[in-house]
Chains A and B, each alone.
Chain A
Amino acid sequence: GAVVSQHPSRVICKSGTSVKIECRSLDFQATTMFWYRQFPKQSLMLMATSNEGSKATYEQGVEKDKFLINHASLTLSTLTVTSAHPEDSSFYICSAQHPNTEAFFGQGTRLTVV
């Protein structure tokens, strides 16, 4: 199957700083990428849908100014957690897909805000 690379796999940051997470589709062009958040022992919650060359679509309750998404190319989407706080600590997972293909998931990023 296709490969989606997510970086970093783990990050620890200080409260108030910003963290950028990258999601790359390594061997296909992904017109759509999705960002999910997963709390411990819970399911994945869709945060936003990222479309190449246009603004992301955020799910209800997700602060767009806090979780900045950029999808500047067909192989890269980034999620920036701005002014991070301890409650933002979570496991973030991206997925990438091209129309009429399945979604391929990154390895996830464990964010810890101290």
Chain B
Amino acid sequence: AQSVTQLDSHVSVSEGTPVLLRCNYSSSYSPSLFWYVQHPNKGLQLLLKYTSAATLVKGINGFEAEFKKSETSFHLTKPSAHMSDAAEYFCVVSPFSGGYNKLIFGAGTRLAVHP
């Protein structure tokens, strides 16, 4: 069975400081992994995706994530937070690498950015 655990429900950082949003996954197969961002009352925007290519994935808005198979982790990072980064972030797993099927969502992490 596949599952996703986002280790922090809330993360609060100061503007200009690094961001770390943690995600662990469980999958019987080589999964595809995604990070999506959701601003209030909006749909989801893809930040980045891992599909069995390079383990360090760069996304939009300065975000990146590293796939670590030994740790079954896919943590999202950004060197310097901006006020506009405040949103809900979802780590998502799709069971089959290279195929995009049913998505399994983590519970979400709400990122707050303070001046």
Seen from chain A, the residues whose Cβ lies within 8 Å of a Cβ on chain B are 1, 4, 6, 34, 41-46, 49, 91, 93, 95, 97, 99-108, 110
Contact = CB atoms under 8 A, between A and B. Distances in A.
B99 A99 contact: yes
A102 B41 contact: no
A103 B42 contact: no
Contacts of B108: 42-43
Given A99-B99, A102-B100, A103-B100, A44 B90 contact: yes
Which A-B residue pairs are the 3 nearest by beta carbons? A105-B44, A107-B43, A105-B43
A9 to B, nearest CB: 8
Nearest to B99: A100
B56 interface: no
Contact of B98 (A91, A100, A107): A100
A6 B43 contact: yes
Interface string B75-115: 00000000000000010000000111011011110100000
A48 to B, nearest CB: 11
Q: Is chain B's binding surface mostly helix, strand, loop or mixed?
A: loop
Interface string B21-58: 00000000000001010000111111001000000000
A1 B36 CA distance: 14
Contacts, number: 50
A93 B44 contact: yes
Contacts of B49: 102
Contacts of B106: 43
Contacts of B34: 102
A79 to B, nearest CB: 15
A46 B105 CA distance: 9
A46 B1 CA distance: 16
B100 A110 contact: no
A100 B49 CA distance: 13
B100 A46 contact: no
A5 B13 CA distance: 33
